[in-house]
């Protein structure tokens, strides 16, 4: 079996990549920051590793000597993810990890990038023509790592792709994020305070995002690849759908919350994703929201008629 190192393996997107990697018969070495790994998947080799401990990361890369790296770990603070100086620490840690990986049998790298690397004033995001002009520190750091690793990979005979993830929802999402917040509020019969909801965003179910990242890993596609649905939907439309499915439209209050990064439209051009990678999602918005609602019902132990 061919080895793959997966960082952020116990995170929102990371945990959804593992079943796909198992289906492809990878020898999975999953990194988690958690000190407890005994309750995790026994078919996977789990490593409790502080990615900021440069010495231990070097030792790990030498010991495992994997040819594949799926790097998804990053700062996940929901309230300050876009502005926290911790993003800079992740740049340093990511570059060290990738260099050590490359020096120890590394051949293929796929990194989880972000749509925040683009200049959102253009709305339509294409890998080749849309300028990179991040409006947040998070986006600047993601963009910087991508540019450095792309150049480093070219000079060191590495195969590298940057999966630029757009907007994600689904099981295990942080409860403060839009879809999870709306579903949880309505299941608990509580008011959901929202922004105006007229922003249009490209949302994709987390299982599809994970599948696309894994398919990108096993392909020979290089460079930036947008991972999105190719369809921009008003946030209000998404939340209204949740309201309809949970019969809780009267609990949705639009307007009281100030919207940050209030660009009118952020949409992925997925020509490369579908054309070069030959990948299509399994979920549409309605089936994806239904799946997410069912997961939260089970998580919250809610029974509805």
Two tokens, residue 261: 């990064």
pTM of this prediction? Answer: 0.95
**CATH of 171-201+231-300 given 3.10.450.50, 3.90.25.10, 3.40.50.170, 3.40.50.2000:** 3.90.25.10
The dihedral sign for the CA sequence 243, 246, 250, 254 = negative
DSSP state of 122: G
**pLDDT (tens place) for every residue of the chain, 305 residues total:** 899 999 999 999 999 999 999 999 999 999 998 766 655 677 899 999 999 999 999 999 999 999 999 999 999 887 889 999 999 999 999 999 999 999 999 999 999 999 999 999 999 999 999 999 999 999 999 999 999 999 999 999 999 999 999 999 999 999 999 999 999 999 999 999 999 999 999 999 999 999 999 999 999 999 999 999 999 999 999 999 999 999 999 999 999 887 766 789 999 999 999 999 999 999 999 999 999 999 999 999 887 55
Q: List helix spans (H) across the chain.
A: 14-23, 54-64, 86-102, 137-155, 178-187, 206-217, 235-245, 271-275, 285-300
Instruction: For the chain, give every domain's residue range.
Output: 3-167+203-227, 171-201+231-300
Assess whether the region 3-167+203-227 and the region 171-201+231-300 belong to the same CATH fold. no
Q: Give the residue from 226, 17, 224, 2 showing the smallest Cα distance to 107.
A: 2
For residue 99, what are its two tokens? 């260099």
**CA separation for the pair 159, 172 (Å, rounded):** 31
Fold of 3-167+203-227: Rossmann fold (3.40.50)
């Amino acid at each position: 079996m061919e080895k793959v190192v997966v960082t952020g393996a116990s995170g929102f997107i990371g945990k959804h990549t593992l079943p796909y990697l198992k289906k492809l018969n990878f020898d999975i070495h999953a990194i988690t920051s958690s000190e407890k790994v005994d309750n995790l998947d026994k078919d996977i080799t789990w490593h409790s590793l502080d990615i900021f401990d440069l010495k231990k990361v070097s030792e790990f890369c030498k010991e495992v000597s994997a040819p594949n790296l799926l790097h998804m770990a990053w700062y996940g603070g929901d309230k300050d993810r876009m502005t926290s100086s911790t993003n800079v620490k992740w740049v340093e840690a990511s570059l060290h990890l990738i260099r050590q990986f490359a020096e120890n049998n590394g051949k293929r790298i796929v990194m989880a990038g972000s749509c925040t690397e683009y200049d959102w004033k253009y709305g339509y995001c294409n890998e080749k023509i849309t300028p990179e002009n991040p409006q947040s520190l998070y986006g600047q750091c993601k963009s910087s790592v991508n540019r450095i690793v792309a150049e480093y990979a070219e000079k060191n005979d590495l195969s590298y792709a940057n999966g630029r993830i757009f907007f994600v929802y689904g099981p295990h999402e942080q409860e403060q994020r839009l879809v999870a917040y709306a579903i949880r509020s309505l299941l608990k019969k509580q008011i959901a305070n929202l922004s105006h909801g007229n922003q249009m965003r490209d949302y994709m179910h987390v299982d599809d995002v994970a599948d696309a990242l894994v398919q990108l890993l096993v392909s020979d596609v290089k460079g930036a690849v947008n991972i999105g649905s190719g369809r921009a939907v008003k946030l209000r439309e998404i939340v209204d759908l949740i309201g309809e499915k949970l019969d809780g439209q009267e609990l949705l209050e639009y307007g009281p919350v100030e919207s940050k990064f209030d660009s009118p439209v952020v949409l992925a051009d997925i020509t490369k994703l579908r054309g070069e990678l030959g990948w299509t999602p399994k979920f549409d918005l309605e089936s994806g929201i239904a799946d997410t609602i069912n997961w939260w019902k089970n998580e919250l132990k809610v029974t509805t008629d």
